[in-house]
Amino acid sequence: MVQRSFGLFATIALAALALAPPAAAQREAAEAALAAPKVPLAIGVAWYPEQWPEARWATDLALMQKAGFNTVRLAEFAWSRMEPSEGAFDFVWLDRAIAAAHAAGMQVVLGTPTAAPPAWMSQLYPDILRVDENGTRAEHGGRRHFSFASARYRGFATRIAREMARRYGRDARVIGWQIDNEVGPPSFDAEAQVLWHAFLKQRYGTIDTLNRRWTTQYWSQHYDNFEQVPLRAGGQHNPGLLLDFKHFTTATWTDYVQAQARAIRAVADPRQWVTTNTMFWNAGFDHYAMHRDLDLASWDNYIPDGRPDWLANGANHDLVRGYKQRNFWLMETQPGRVDWVPVNRALDRGQTREMAWQAIGHGADAVLYWQWRSALNGQEQYHGAMLGPDGTPFPIYDEIAQVARDAAAAAPALAGTAPVGRIAMLFSYDSRWAIDLQRHHRDFDPVKQFTAWYRPLRSIAQGVAVLPVDADLARYPLVVAPSLHVVTQAQADRLAAYVRGGGHLVLGPRSGMKDDANALWPQRQPGPLAELLGARVEQYYALDAAAPLTGSLGAGETAIWAETLVPEAKDVEILERYGPSNGWLDGKPAAVTRRVGKGRITYVGVWPDEAMLRGFAQRLLDAAGVAPVVPDAPPALEVMERAGNGRRALVLINHGATPLRPALPAGAVPVTGDLRDGVLPAHGVAVVALTPAQAGISNR
């Protein structure tokens, strides 16, 4: 597993920890605060008062109030304003902005400004600047141009975080902290190399262990000492090195964020939560590890092409909810459009509202728009905003105001509730990275493959928890791991215990092939789970044309990938076989299943077509006794259930362009939204309350 702190930064971390109240007590208090937020649904916006004359603030805040907002996020890029020269701090303007926001009824989230270091720092200390893999040092003028490995930068970043926390850490108007903004790009400077070597030393202990785990006898790669190991993200390098590079970026970014979290927590009221905002499916670091010591997950949900694919976007939300297995914040979303893809199409009328309710249905307790008003200059002049350059509302303002109105009406029914996950899916960063490093078939995109399985499972079960491999799975009757490529012995043992205890584990292709140093398991797939399965993969094949499948799951075909399986135990059942194809596949088992203990393990060595996957999902869910809350939901209807705290509610969205009539459970009471006489119009949303007695399902 990835280490959280190391070398140089461990010293910094320990010094900061000495000042902090006991972590457990602090976390408990923060969790209590999270369980009882002041506003059950926070609706608001990123506001940059530093970009506008102070005389304008009152007008802005009055318009936010009119929109029904209750939350603003401030200061995340305002470093040059808060520390105009080295060590000279100016918070007076921010004091006034917070006071004005509070007077207008807003709670405040403060961002630390460390994604945008000031020019004086780049000029005086060019060693803080990021260096890319080709050795080019970043220059000032954009953002994220710092090195995540720079001790000097770490010092500046923790100091501004500490100064802010000293001033606002006990301020009742401030509810939480966002650290940095979308951390991500690594650096390859000399300090990063020193940290890399320290990281490898901590991970492997001796160079002999590293040599063994990476099989460095291959191509004479043997290392005499850690200092010889190059710092590389890609190219023709050892797969062990490349996967460990990801572990290294995880450790370094986690430590970077935690350094600020510690600085804040050392002085702040534990009532204030600490988060960092992340990006959809970002592969830069392991998000489970990043969130282990944060209070809250938050993310930035954008639909770049303006064409929402609700199932794919829902998978994103569920992934984020899985980081802490707790409700999260939508820290940013677009008022209509973005400005960073080739065609920045705006969402259709009604879809911005749909996306807000989708987030809430999947567990967001906040929806914040980015941004309030476009700055008159700066890199993002074309991005969606709520106000135009003239300071008056764009058409989207009214749609977002409706989100705020509906949220206020729905808040009592949703307070203290969380999404109900009826089954679990496992998403593993190690597996994703290892496949991405060696796809073997260009189109074997691990996120697409995960989403292909998520689609039917989610639309039939109407509630999927996306979890790390180490999560407690006991409560889920069905756990699907579409491609658990990297699995450790300890993880395999836990999964085996889950199966023996009565769960059904379904593994997709390429599962159980590698260990966490990206080395092949010496057993055939699924490696440490092969014995449990009573079968093994004989060979895998990348396909340039689909291969036919027949069997008890029905007829269909597999594209991209095919694995032939060999049953070894007598009680292994063959579910599916290949039809005539390349000769190697013909007639061979493609999917097998076996009862073990009180449960079952199934291995599916293919990427089935959509219809087949749907049929298979239906069978798996039927066998697990999982039925939808709203039966026969048409494809455009999204059903999301939130329960807990004695409440149970459904969030319904008609993502389509024609009206629908959802088959609601008896006794459902509309709370807010567009449901009229049982009909949900095109792009309509509704929240309905169910009586807790109708639940029968725990709050997961």
Closest residue by beta carbon to ligand GLA:
300
Per DSSP, the three-state class of 530 is helix
d(C-alpha 484, C-alpha 221), whole Å:
28
Q: Which of residues 12 and 356 has its CB atom nearest to ligand GLA in the complex?
A: 356
d(C-alpha 297, C-alpha 465), whole Å:
15
d(C-alpha 510, C-alpha 428), whole Å:
13
Q: Which of residues 384 and 421 has its CB atom nearest to ligand GLA in the complex?
A: 384
| By CB under 6 A, residue 305 contacts ligand GLA | no
DSSP states of 584-653: SSTT-EEEEEEEETTEEEEEE-EEE-HHHHHHHHHHHHHHHT---SSTT--TTEEEEEEEETTEEEEEEE
Q: Which helix (H) or strand (E) holds 21?
A: none
Q: Which of residues 77 and 214 has its CB atom nearest to ligand GLA in the complex?
A: 77
Identify which of 38, 28, 120 has the alpha carbon closest to the alpha carbon of residue 80.
120
Tell me which of 76, 332, 354, 399 is the catalytic residue. 332
Q: What phi and psi, each to the nearest 5 degrees, are found at residue 644?
A: 135, 165
| By CB under 6 A, residue 181 contacts ligand GLA | yes
- Least Cβ distance, residue 303 to ligand GLA (angstroms): 11
Kindly tell me the burial class for residue 656, based on how many C-beta atoms sit within 10 Å of its own C-beta (0-12, 13-18, 19 or more). middle
| By CB under 6 A, residue 302 contacts ligand GLA | yes
Which residue, chain included where needed, has tokens 């996020």?
73
Which residue, chain included where needed, has tokens 């649904």?
41
Q: Is 645 annotated as a binding residue?
A: no
% helix / strand / coil in the chain, to the nearest 5? Answer: 35, 20, 45
Per DSSP, the three-state class of 393 is strand
d(C-alpha 157, C-alpha 690), whole Å:
47
- Least Cβ distance, residue 114 to ligand GLA (angstroms): 13
Q: Is 340 annotated as a binding residue?
A: yes
Q: Which helix (H) or strand (E) holds 311?
A: helix 310-324
Contacting ligand GLA (CB under 6 A), which of 9, 310, 370, 429?
Answer: 370
Q: In the structure encoding, which two tokens stand for residue 287, read together?
A: 């998000």
- Least Cβ distance, residue 73 to ligand GLA (angstroms): 10
Residues 6+ apart with CB under 8 A from 35: 416
Q: Which of residues 70 and 181 has its CB atom nearest to ligand GLA in the complex?
A: 181
Using CB under 6 A as the binding criterion, the count of chain residues that bind ligand GLA stands at: 9
What mask, x for binding ligand GLA by CB under 6 A, covers residues 236 to 275? ----------------------------------------
- Least Cβ distance, residue 184 to ligand GLA (angstroms): 11
Q: Which 195-224 residues touch ligand GLA, going by CB under 6 A?
A: none
Q: Which 19-78 residues touch ligand GLA, going by CB under 6 A?
A: none
- Least Cβ distance, residue 296 to ligand GLA (angstroms): 16
Q: Which of residues 380 and 538 has its CB atom nearest to ligand GLA in the complex?
A: 380
- Least Cβ distance, residue 259 to ligand GLA (angstroms): 20
Cβ of 210: how many Cβ atoms within 10 Å? 23
Q: Which of residues 294 and 461 has its CB atom nearest to ligand GLA in the complex?
A: 294
Contacting ligand GLA (CB under 6 A), which of 83, 332, 516, 557?
Answer: 332
| By CB under 6 A, residue 182 contacts ligand GLA | yes
Contacting ligand GLA (CB under 6 A), which of 380, 436, 531, 586?
Answer: 380
Tell me which of 83, 182, 557, 638 is the catalytic residue. 182
Cβ of 587: how many Cβ atoms within 10 Å? 11
- Least Cβ distance, residue 173 to ligand GLA (angstroms): 23
Contacting ligand GLA (CB under 6 A), which of 383, 455, 504, 510?
Answer: 383
- Least Cβ distance, residue 142 to ligand GLA (angstroms): 11
Cβ of 330: how many Cβ atoms within 10 Å? 27
Q: In the structure encoding, which two tokens stand for residue 355, read together?
A: 């996306």
Q: Which of residues 101 and 338 has its CB atom nearest to ligand GLA in the complex?
A: 338
Q: Which of residues 339 and 348 has its CB atom nearest to ligand GLA in the complex?
A: 339
d(C-alpha 169, C-alpha 25), whole Å:
17
182 assigned to active site: yes
d(C-alpha 384, C-alpha 387), whole Å:
9
Residues 411-446 as b/e (b if ≥16 CB within 10 A, e otherwise) read bebbbbbbbbbbbbbbbbbbbbbbbbeeeebeebbb
Q: Is 372 annotated as a binding residue?
A: no
- Least Cβ distance, residue 302 to ligand GLA (angstroms): 5
User: Which residues are 425's β-sheet partners?
Assistant: 466, 480
Walk across the sheet containing 637-644 and list its strands.
418-419, 637-644, 647-654, 685-690, 669-673
> How many CA atoms does the CB half-sphere of 602 hold within 13 Å?
22
Per DSSP, the three-state class of 178 is strand
Contacting ligand GLA (CB under 6 A), which of 60, 191, 300, 576?
Answer: 300
Q: Which of residues 47 and 226 has its CB atom nearest to ligand GLA in the complex?
A: 47
Contacting ligand GLA (CB under 6 A), which of 338, 423, 613, 687?
Answer: 338
Binding positions for ligand GLA, rule: CB under 6 A:
181-182, 300, 302, 332, 338, 370, 380, 383
Annotated binding site for substrate: 143, 181, 340
Annotated binding site: 143, 181, 340
Active site residues: 182, 332
